[in-house]
């Protein structure tokens, strides 16, 4: 009887060990532990940096400048030079070919025609809002962004005086306070009013913010389409980004309490109704304010980490596409959100002269 009991115990031990071994070797159990946020950021960084110099100048510069401001790594210098060349080329064209009222009118007419061909909701909104004032595409979308980028580098165009005279012909409040324009261009207008302030030109930041609040009252969020809800959130995130001069300066939460309070009250809705770009931008807004430990940051990081396709090495589009060019914006934001390195006022011609040893034609030190 004793030997029977011993045998039974031995048999049960083998059975338990078999169950344990099977469980331990189960792929589902082993894969429960996700990589760290930094590891996932590095995965995406590797994907993009293998192919960085195959991207167009705008995308290459967009990625390289953000990574340099995060890391100060000299390997991004060539991408920054490419961005400078793009800025110089555009400002050279405007200074020599597109600066009289007639030239601006012809240039803007061509630009608005392209928007007239768009069939998506956003494209249609932009065409409807801008067709009666197409000069906005020249002034806000093209000229101001290039002048502001040069300014951030500590540079200006050799015809800076002429280009500033062009800006002063227009009252930017006309665009920045128009509800239809805000519904079509919220994030872009946020950039542009801060660029004007940065350049020491017309200051309509406060007027834009007040018009934005009237256009998108928080009490009406439920009435917004997903496209319009995301346009609102993009507008909010770009107010913070533009105020920081794009990751160069920290933000004081108290200066934008209305924004941060809104995020905290609505983060679950934002994650549910928004694309990954928008979610990542909300998280980075908190990081810019030094709020690394705020629960909103963790929620955005978890949402973004859950969207990563590790076989593709990136966050794909909402349609599951993993095309490098179209995915650059959301993926560089993902890297920054998951592996934040702080705000840094770089690169500038005075602090990093080695990057600016050969400045593209048309740009000069301020």
Asked if 139 and 168 count as a contact pair (C-beta separation under 8 A), the reply is: no
pLDDT tens string 84-96: 999 999 999 999 9
Pick from 32-46, 63-77, 282-296: least confident: 32-46
CA distance 359 to 362: 8
pLDDT tier at 32 (50, 70, 90 boundaries)? Answer: low
Q: Where are the alpha helices (DSSP H) in the chain?
A: 2-24, 27-30, 37-49, 57-71, 77-97, 101-116, 121-130, 135-136, 145-152, 160-167, 173-176, 179-198, 205-215, 226-243, 257-273, 276-288, 295-305, 324-338
* Overall pTM > 0.85: yes
Q: Which two tokens stand for residue 314?
A: 């990136």
The per-residue pLDDT for 33 is 77
pLDDT at 257 over 90: yes
Q: Could you write out the three-class secondary structure of 276-289? A: HHHHHHHHHHHHHC
The distance in angstroms from the start CA to the end CA of the chain is: 98
φ and ψ at residue 351, rounded to 5 degrees: -90, -30
Give the mean pLDDT of the chain.
Answer: 93
Q: What percent of the chain has pLDDT over 90?
A: 91
Question: How far apart are the C-alpha atoms of 14 and 172, rounded to whole Å?
Answer: 79
Q: Is 155:202 a contact under the CB 8 Å cutoff?
A: no
Please count the other Cβ atoms lying within 10 Å of the Cβ belonging to residue 264. 13
pLDDT over 70 for what percent of the chain? 91
Tell me the two tokens of residue 214. 């009237």
Over residues 42-68, mean pLDDT: 97
Residues 311-326, mean pLDDT to the nearest whole number: 96
Nearest CA to 251 out of 239, 268, 262, 261 is that of 239
Contact 182, 211 (CB under 8 A): yes
Query: Is 245 a residue whose pLDDT tops 60?
Result: yes
Asked if residue 4 has pLDDT above 80, the reply is no
138 neighbors 169 (Cβ within 8 angstroms):
no
């Amino acid at each position: 009887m004793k030997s029977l009991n011993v045998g039974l115990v031995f048999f049960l031990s083998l059975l338990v060990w078999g169950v344990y071994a099977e469980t331990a070797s189960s792929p589902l159990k082993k894969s429960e532990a996700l990589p760290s946020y930094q590891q996932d950021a590095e995965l995406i960084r590797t994907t993009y940096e293998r192919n960085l110099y195959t991207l167009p100048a705008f995308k290459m510069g967009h990625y390289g400048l953000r990574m340099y401001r995060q890391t100060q790594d000299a390997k991004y210098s060539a991408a920054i030079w490419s961005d400078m060349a793009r800025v110089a080329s555009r400002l050279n064209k405007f200074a020599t070919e597109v600066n009289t009222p007639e030239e601006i009118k012809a240039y803007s007419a061509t630009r608005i025609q392209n928007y007239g061909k768009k069939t998506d909701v956003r494209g249609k909104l932009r065409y409807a809002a801008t067709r009666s004032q197409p000069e906005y595409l020249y002034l806000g979308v093209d000229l101001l962004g290039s002048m502001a980028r040069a300014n951030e580098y500590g540079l200006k165009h050799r015809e800076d005086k002429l280009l500033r005279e062009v800006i002063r012909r227009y009252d930017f409040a006309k665009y920045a306070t128009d509800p239809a324009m805000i519904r079509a261009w919220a994030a872009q207008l946020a950039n542009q009013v801060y660029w004007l302030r940065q350049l020491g030109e017309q200051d309509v930041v406060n007027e834009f913010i007040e018009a934005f609040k009237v256009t998108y009252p928080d009490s009406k969020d439920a009435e917004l389409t997903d496209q319009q809800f995301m346009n609102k959130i993009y507008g909010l995130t770009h107010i913070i980004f533009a105020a920081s001069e794009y990751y160069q300066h920290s933000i004081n939460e108290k200066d934008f309490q209305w924004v941060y309070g809104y995020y905290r009250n609505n983060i679950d809705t934002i994650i549910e109704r928004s694309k990954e770009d928008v979610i990542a931008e909300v998280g980075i807004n908190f990081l810019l304010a030094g709020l690394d430990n705020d629960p909103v940051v963790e929620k955005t990081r978890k949402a973004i980490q859950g969207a990563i396709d590790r076989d593709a090495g990136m966050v794909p589009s909402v349609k599951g596409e993993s095309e490098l060019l179209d995915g650059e914006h959301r993926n560089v934001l993902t890297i920054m959100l998951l592996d934040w390195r702080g705000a840094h006022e770089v690169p500038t011609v005075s602090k990093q002269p080695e990057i600016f040893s050969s400045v593209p034609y048309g740009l000069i030190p301020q």
